[in-house]
Amino acid sequence: MKVRLRKCFGALVTCLGLWPILAFAQSSDLSQNLAACKAGRDSCDRSKLSQSEATDVALAAHGRNVANCRSGYDSCDRSRLSEPETIALAVADHQRNVTDCNDGMQSCDPSKLTTFEARAMAVAEKQRNLAACKDGAVACDRSKLTPSETEAVNIARRQLNASDCENGAGLCDHAQLTPTQTKDTTAAEHQRNAQNCQNGWDECDHSKLTPLQAKQTASSEHQRNFSACKDGQETCDYAKLSTTEAKTLADAEHKRNYAACLKGYGYCDPSRLTPTEAGAIPTKKPDVR
């Protein structure tokens, strides 16, 4: 009898111990299901919702439908909108169409514009075409320009061409430059070439340098080579170093090698140490096993 009571008591204790775990698992499942229902996911099981949760899910679904309608999505169900929501959607749709038309978007429906809005769209379209022509864009339609606009476009295009030629960018047409613009462009090209040469860039033509620029370029190239040698870069050309520079680098390398041998860290070449330096290097103790 006592054994049977102990078994029952043990089973009861086990059940009580597992109850919090089971309750937590069930609560977690219900929370996940509620989140799935609010998000409109297929995994939603509405039968597990309480009355208040079902109300919250319905409100979330309605709000999602309103957002879909405002965004113009196909999933929009206008029949589920309230009258104020339907009116607000119509206002938003109309304004979006007006904006699309003024911006020249393909989604524009001119038939839905008022007379005033259609005139505003025509003005915006004219301004866009004028800007495109001044910028030399493909969308430019010169047939829609007035004589005064055509002249303004021609002036803008000449200025843009001069700027492209002077900056070495874009589509430069030297034939359209005035004598003054040609002079400015030549000076800019000459200065740009000198900078390219001093910086060691590929777009350098040494034959176009003045004697002073050639001297400055040679000095810059020499300094870059010396820096490359100091940093141990593969672009270093030791043959181009002066006697003083070569000695400076050799002394620095000797100090580095001695420090590496002394500290046991870094590449060490014992054969390059002086007898005094070699004597200062700690001898390696044999491993004791």
Cα separation, 242 vs 95, whole angstroms:
75
- Asked if residue 227 lies in contact with residue 239, where contact means CB atoms within 8 angstroms, the answer is no
3-state secondary structure of 272: helix
Q: Which two tokens stand for residue 277?
A: 């330096």
The 10s digit of each residue's pLDDT in 104-119 is 999 999 999 999 999 9
Q: Which two tokens stand for residue 9?
A: 């008591």
Pairwise CA distance, residues 203 & 193, whole Å: 7
Average pLDDT over residues 257-264: 92
Q: Which amino acid is at 103?
A: D
Instruction: Please check the confidence at residue 16 and state whether its pLDDT lies above 60.
Output: no
What is the predicted pLDDT for the residue at 170?
Answer: 75
The two tokens of residue 36 are 């799935």
**How far is the C-alpha of 55 from the C-alpha of 61, rounded, in Å?**
10
Mean local confidence (pLDDT), 158-175: 90
In this predicted structure, the answer to whether residue 221 has a pLDDT above a threshold of 60 is yes
Question: What does the chain come to in residues?
Answer: 289
Q: How would you write 15-34 as a 3-class SS string?
A: HHHHHHHHHHHHHHHHHHHH
DSSP class per residue in 172-209? --GGG--HHHHHHHHHHHHHHHHHHHHHT-SS--GGG-
Place of tokens 């996911």: 41
Read off the pLDDT of residues 17-47 as tens digits, 9 standing for 90 and up.
555 665 556 667 888 888 889 888 888 888 8
Q: State residue 117's pLDDT score.
A: 96
Residue type, 51: Q
Cβ-based neighbour number of residue 289 at 10 Å: 3
Spatial neighbors of 66 by CB under 8 A, at least 6 apart, are 81, 85, 89
Binned at pLDDT 50, 70 and 90, residue 50 comes out as confident
Determine contact, residues 281/273, Cβ cutoff 8 Å: yes
Of the pLDDT bands very low, low, confident and very high (cuts 50, 70, 90), residue 4 is low
- Listing DSSP states for 76-127 in one string gives --GGGS-HHHHHHHHHHHHHHHHHHHHTT-TT--GGGS-HHHHHHHHHHHHH
Q: Are 84 and 66 in contact, with CB atoms under 8 Å apart?
A: no
Q: Report pLDDT for 72.
A: 82
How much is the average pLDDT of 255-281? 91
**Mean pLDDT score, 65-78:** 89
Nearest to 57 by CA among 48, 49, 65: 49
Q: Which amino acid is at 269?
A: D
